[in-house]
A and B are shown apart, each in its own frame.
Chain A
Amino acid sequence: MIFKIEDVEVYFPYDNIYPEQYEYMVELKRALDAKGHCLLEMPTGTGKTIALLSLITSYRLAHLESPIKLIYCTRTVHEMEKTLAELKLLHDYQVRHMGERARILAIGLSSRKNLCVNTKVLAAENRDSVDAACRKRTASWVRALPADNPNVELCDFFEKYEKDAERALLPPGVYTLEDLRAFGKKHGWCPYFLARHMVQLANIIVYSYQYLLDPKVAGIISKEMQKETVVVFDEAHNIDNVCIEALSVSVRRVTLEGANRNLNKIRQEIDRFKATDAGRLRAEYTRLVEGLALRGDLSGTDQWLANPALPHDILKEAVPGNIRRAEHFVHVLRRLLQYLGGRLDTENVEKESPVSFVSSLNSQAGIEQKILKFCYDRLHSLMLTLEITDTDEFLPIQTVCDFATLVGTYARGFSIIIEPYDERMPHIPDPILQLSCHDASLAIKPVFDRFQSVVITSGTLSPIDLYPRLLSFNPVVSRSFKMSMTRDCICPMVLTRGSDQLPVSTKFDMRSDPGVVRNYGKLLVEMVSIVPDGVVCFFVSYSYMDGIIATWNETGILKEIMQQKLVFIETQDVVETTLALDNYRRACDCGRGAVFFSVARGKVAEGIDFDRHYGRLVVMFGVPFQYTLSKILLARLEYLRDTFQIKEGDFLTFDALRQAAQCVGRVIRSKADYGMMIFADKRYSRHDKRSKLPGWILSHLRDAHLNLSTDMAIHIAREFLRKMAQPYDKAGTLGSKTLLTQEDLEKMAETGVQDMVY
């Protein structure tokens, strides 16, 4: 359907549109008009992605004189593929209705592992080794070696791509990763480098958060983007954590040992070069004297180095004199490693600010802050000079240099925490030195500064006013949308008491109480006997889950559950969990029914959908607060309080509730779907906790469902499941319309939006 939002003609590939999608588009358009950033919360399953894509592409078509570019960031490759598939549909529709004018180039960009078509390279097992295998074949010095050298193996695809240099272009269209691979295979061009090249020209780019947020990667991939770009962060409820992780480094003993080995290797290489090709080292030296700004002349494939600091900081200065020579630099690194090793030997937990860390480093090891700042760049320059291709082996030393540069660059927003052992296992010495970033705005600041509009959107962004503070930006639009539904297809409940009327909670003083454990168990036993197919349970932590399952096993509750449904458990092992998930799905498919025990903040809670019969019920046992004794968390809380005036309690509650909402939100992915959510903890009935849940859950949380005991919850569940099993009326007959047609929209444009929708 085609309709107008103010002055923009919107092309929407479906015949009907949900009211909330329309509103979402209106808000988004206002943000684009104002050239500002925006925060939009809309429940999953309401077609957020297609609304976003169709508005932005239509907006672009309406303003062709200064076309905007779209960068769409997703969390996983799977989401990337889904987005591209929708985009393809939209693009076909637009081309059909507008002709060639609407043609755009849209590509997905991922790591080499996902894009490579060279079978030999793909044989490597993980991402880093695929990268290394690729570099081994494509580095400029490798290719410069004579072709008849039998030891040199080149990548045919890359060679062809290089040969066709100027002609190697993608014709307009939408390319998923699969399409890119197919295209690359057909033309004999390397899809990865082709895609990277096309990023500069494409109208729409879909890639992962890291390409924009992690300064190490962002410098290469995203540096030449125009200002007139709209950046979208999808599923961005955890964006602050992503930002923080991008700037946090942890160093263990293994890292230091590895780094030492790396240094030895580098040392050998330097000696070898001295003997054979001293000119090269000298050339590097002169280049460094002239400053790093000149390194732009490196050829395309060699550009894998980048700087974790903000680029302009470092480009203004030249590399300090005392690390320009390779040997000197290696000496500096040795001293640094020695110092770090010494610090790791501590018996106590230590917490330090970067400033005092740098000063003590200066006094004890004689390394200045300025030297630290350049470590990362200097290392990569050296590795290029030494023609080192197997970069995956040099990860430890890279980590150390990364650490050094971050410590040297930022005086605020970080802290260094040294812990001699893991808090939970005090007798096993496992010293770790963590540089943890507390300020999410550091990593995302360049993005906000550089691009015209940044859109942060997710199904769960509540409370929506906290995000601008955490990321320190000013949104021009921040709204939370409700879901229009033809029936009450979600049924959230707060369970506060067990069947014996005693309160249940995972509060620290109550969690090991046998009564609570038994009540939780009884709840689950009853629920599995009345809920069909799949049930998902989320626990607050792995240790709690292990404990409670062990107790259930002893008391026979687990056996009772197994009579009704099979039990699957998430573990920290990814492969094991994937296998468990597969079998869980199979059990749901074939009617046996299954329960999945999972952990909030785990992999499953973040990325796996339990839609349709895979999840008819989610039980959230307890409130998933973070481990409050963790030194890093305490340091972050302190920083948040001092800098952003966010109270500790507020942040903890916010974080716990967004995790809980994320967990229960897994259950429903479309309007035709239905599911129940049980929040099993007495603390959820308190207003300060409950009110932080997203609006679309709250609006279905009836007052009568706020303080339930097990038997009442069971009764409600039974009724709900019966009601939902009745035939589903898609268009919605009663009262409010939930599917709008073209005529409805035209009418709406006349009468004004607000009074039509609600």
Chain B
Amino acid sequence: MSNQKKRLNGGEREDEDEDDAEGIGEWERAYVDDRSWEALQEDESGLLRPIDNSAIYHAQYRRRLRMLSAAAAGTRIQKGLIRYLYIVIDFSRAAAEMDFRPSRMAVMAKHVEAFIREFFDQNPLSQIGLVSIKNGVAHTLTDLGGSPETHIKALMGKLEALGDSSLQNALELVHEHLNQVPSYGHREVLILYSALCTCDPGDIMETIQKCKKSKLRCSVIGLSAEMFICKHLCQETGGLYSVAVDEVHLKDLLLEHAPPPPAIAEFAIANLIKMGFPQRAAEGSMAICSCHKEVKIGAGYMCPRCKARVCDLPTECTICGLTLVSSPHLARSYHHLFPIAPFDEVPALSSLNDNRRKLGKNCFGCQQSLIGTGNKPGPCVTCRKCKHYFCLDCDIYIHESLHNCPGCESIHRPKSVSLMEE
């Protein structure tokens, strides 16, 4: 019996990769999950070679960069640094589908976890809440808060996929929550939608208009196909709509939401916000923290106004409602306001004149040679301001992590070179 089943499975796999891992030996499963054959392609002479993805990834990254800078075209734009984001995860029947391995649900949870960490890393002043859709009803998993751990714990709590999905219910619930946040904060919703329909109790168009009116920026990441209503929702509220092709793409799409979006124009009024910078409590001092109501020894912060103890920063003091941050948080949010202009692509190194070639033999960032294999010029980019050349890896590193151009820094302030080298 099992033999027969195996053959059936094998036959199917020949057509498609629609098989389930059932009935395959343990050793086989590793390969099935790995899908290493997908990373191969045939070249002109019929030889199998690993797919060289770096160029594709770089093109994708450039497009993203351009998109961001196009949104920021012209002068400096305002960005919402204080974001209140609700992540809505659709755990309806469709989330149990196995086209992502092991299931959509697990993949979503995994990447949302990564996203939450990344999000707090990039937006230390922001807060996240979690909502799930199950059985056609939306549930609040966690309220808005600044601690990644609580969210992740609540999310991983119980993963099961049941019933229909309802976009309207989710939007209504989130709208209710977000309507209360202070006006300087940016209200955002990020929906991970795996279902292909929505069973709503009322007219969803009204709900969308309501969200639009209260300036909710709704973005949707679909897991299977483009849905009109999601597209409509995103268009109306100014969010992004994207559909994930595979797991890697899903991760990329999610992480695209980590940097703060440009502020909605009519909403971008300057505002003074009262913030407290709490001191870290002395080692060994005992206190009951106000967030978990537990006795903690050391490790904690004290609200400068009411002296209550909190565990994590940033947060809002549960006693007096003061926003509590630390100064590194503010500093880390700063670079979003002054992004580095995207580097220009250099067509081919050989076409440049000698002067340039001398300058650009090595990447200015990592000092690696820019000459690729076979003495052919490899792809490289150049900064518009300092005209230094960089390799693609450095390009990504500078724009996504460093947020400073080493070339420009070394020209204007030679002193800071030493800093950069650290």
Q: Which residues of A contact B (CB under 8 A)?
A: 529-533, 564-565, 588-593, 612-613, 616, 711-712, 714-715, 718, 721-727
Contact = CB atoms under 8 A, between A and B. Distances in A.
Contact of A721 (B18, B203, B224): B224
Closest 9 CB pairs of A and B: A591-B229, A725-B243, A613-B228, A721-B225, A725-B226, A593-B197, A715-B16, A591-B198, A532-B227
A531 B227 CA distance: 9
Nearest to B18: A715
A529 B196 contact: yes
Contacts of A724: 225-226
Interface of B: 12, 15-18, 94, 99, 167, 196-200, 203-205, 222, 224-230, 242-245
Contact of A711 (B16, B196, B205, B227): B16
Contacts of B12: 711
Given A711-B16, A722-B243, A724-B226, A592 B99 contact: no
Nearest to A563: B164
Taking chain A's interface residues, is the majority helix, strand, or loop, or is none over half, making it mixed? helix
A386 B379 CA distance: 91
B229 A718 contact: no
Contacts of A726: 242-243, 245
B197 A532 contact: yes
A592 B16 contact: no
A711 B199 CA distance: 27
Nearest to A719: B245
B243 to A, nearest CB: 3
- Among B196, B204, B222, B229: residue with most chain A CB under 10 A: B196
A530 B196 CA distance: 7
A616 to B, nearest CB: 8
Contacts of A588: 228
- Among B167, B204, B225, B242: residue with most chain A CB under 10 A: B225
A588 B204 CA distance: 12
Nearest to A711: B18
Given A532-B196, A721-B224, A590 B229 contact: yes
Contacts of A593: 196-197
A674 to B, nearest CB: 9
A532 B200 contact: no
A590 B166 CA distance: 11
B225 A725 contact: yes
Given A532-B197, A532-B226, 16 more contacts: A532-B227, A589-B229, A591-B167, A591-B197, A592-B197, A592-B198, A593-B196, A593-B197, A711-B15, A711-B16, A712-B16, A715-B15, A718-B225, A721-B224, A725-B222, A725-B226
A721 B226 contact: yes
Nearest to B63: A727
Contacts of B224: 530, 532, 718, 721-722
B200 to A, nearest CB: 7
A533 B227 contact: yes
Contacts of B228: 532-533, 588-589, 591, 612-613
Given A532-B228, A591-B227, A591-B229, A564 B197 contact: yes
Contacts of A721: 224-226
Contacts of A592: 197-200
A639 B292 CA distance: 91
A722 B199 CA distance: 22
Contacts of B205: 589-590
Contacts of B94: 529
B337 to A, nearest CB: 27
15 contacts: A530-B196, A531-B225, A532-B228, A533-B228, A565-B197, A590-B200, A591-B227, A592-B200, A593-B196, A616-B225, A711-B16, A715-B15, A718-B99, A725-B225, A726-B242
Contacts of A727: 242
A612 B227 CA distance: 10
A722 B245 contact: yes
Contacts of B242: 725-727
A734 to B, nearest CB: 12
Nearest to A614: B228
B247 to A, nearest CB: 12
- Among A530, A589, A591, A724: residue with most chain B CB under 10 A: A591
A669 B354 CA distance: 54
A533 B12 CA distance: 29
B189 to A, nearest CB: 16
A723 to B, nearest CB: 7
A722 B243 CA distance: 7
A424 to B, nearest CB: 37
A99 to B, nearest CB: 38
Contact of B225 (A530, A564, A565): A530
Nearest to B205: A590
A722 B12 CA distance: 22
Given A711-B16, A715-B16, A723-B245, A591 B226 contact: no
Contacts of A718: 99, 224-225
Contact of B230 (A589, A591, A722): A591
Contacts of B245: 722-723, 726
- Among B15, B94, B199, B229: residue with most chain A CB under 10 A: B229
A723 B199 CA distance: 26
Contacts of A591: 167, 197-198, 200, 204, 227-230
Contacts of B196: 529-532, 564, 593
A530 B223 CA distance: 11
- Among B18, B167, B243: residue with most chain A CB under 10 A: B243
B248 to A, nearest CB: 13
- Among B200, B226, B244: residue with most chain A CB under 10 A: B226
Nearest to A613: B228
A529 B245 CA distance: 17
A294 to B, nearest CB: 63
Contacts of A565: 197
Contacts of B225: 530-532, 616, 718, 721-722, 724-725
B230 to A, nearest CB: 7
A739 B199 CA distance: 41
Nearest to A592: B197
A230 B195 CA distance: 52
Nearest to A727: B242
- Among B18, B222, B224: residue with most chain A CB under 10 A: B224
Contacts of B244: 722
- Among A711, A712, A722, A724: residue with most chain B CB under 10 A: A722
A349 to B, nearest CB: 50
Contacts of A564: 196-197
A422 B169 CA distance: 53
Contacts of A530: 196, 224-225
A564 B92 CA distance: 12
Given A531-B225, A718-B224, A590 B230 contact: no
A530 B195 CA distance: 9
B198 to A, nearest CB: 4
A616 B231 CA distance: 15
Contacts of A612: 228
Contacts of A714: 18
Given A532-B197, A712-B15, A590 B203 contact: yes
A532 B230 CA distance: 11
A712 B11 CA distance: 12
B204 A590 contact: yes
A172 B183 CA distance: 57
Contacts of B198: 590-592
Contacts of A589: 205, 228-229
Nearest to A588: B228
A590 B232 CA distance: 10
Contacts of A725: 222, 225-226, 242-243
A705 to B, nearest CB: 12
